[in-house]
Structure 1
Amino acid sequence: MQPNIPVPTDNLYKFQALFGLVIIISAIAGLYLTYATTNAELVTIADRFYELEKEQLAAQQETVAVGAVAVSDSRSANAAKGVKAVLEKRIEVAVSNRRTYVAVLFLGMFLGGVLAYFGFTKWAKIQPMHDRLLELQVQKAEKELNQP
């Protein structure tokens, strides 16, 4: 099986530079995905909070209209408090996870940047010598071909 994308293995520094760029691009994509998924989760939690508040308000209005306080109302209020506590904990966990992911991805971006920088600087020094060597080999081959 032949690869569709050729990997530059002729020069270690070229590979190092391009691999650093791949790490940077992957980290940027990871940042986007982290923020997108966390924000989507926070929106669903906020929607659930809104529904819960709406249900509690409707129950309070119904209780006021009837004029009696039932035991089930206190149970539903306690259940609502428990659900709110769980939702608040989910928010804390989501925000904490996002902070951790972002820190790890920024570290990856930094390391990829360092790798790419050193790869490109070394590659820029070696590539002219490599090009000159190729020119000399072509000239030598042409001379050998033109000999009588």
Structure 2
Amino acid sequence: MYKIGELAKACDINNDTLRFYEKNALLCPSTRSESGYRLYTEKDKETLQFILRAKGVGFTLAEIRELLSIEVNKADSACADVKTLVDSKLNDVETKLAELIRFQTSLKRLSNACCGGAESAEHCTILEALESDTNDVRHEHKLNDKES
């Protein structure tokens, strides 16, 4: 049997993380000692490691709860159920990656359009592009009227 600190240390997490998983109904101590300490079994340790691996590949707490439910009742679920969860998560990740690539492209375009000089930001092409409702980004600062 493990006390909370022992289990947390064995899984390289802190006690608060373990309590957080308990609070969110992902893990429950198997029993309590006479003095009220939470006690965990080797099976609880395996469940915690499952949670940590699932979290490590990006599953949310709700998704992990669903995976644990399937894990506990494997005979009542099909492999297709698990694959559906994974494929849904993969689709979410691919959507987020596409969005991040769009952000990256836009930010590069903004950065490349700016001279980055010491001139006043009054005519900064980045600010102008963000103020504008068009996608046009000029490739250098406008000259100040006084500089013309």
Structure 1 length normalisation: TM-score? 0.37
**Structure with greater proportional helix content:** 1
**Structure with greater proportional strand content:** 2
> Which protein is bigger by CA-based radius of gyration?
1
Structure 2 length normalisation: TM-score? 0.37
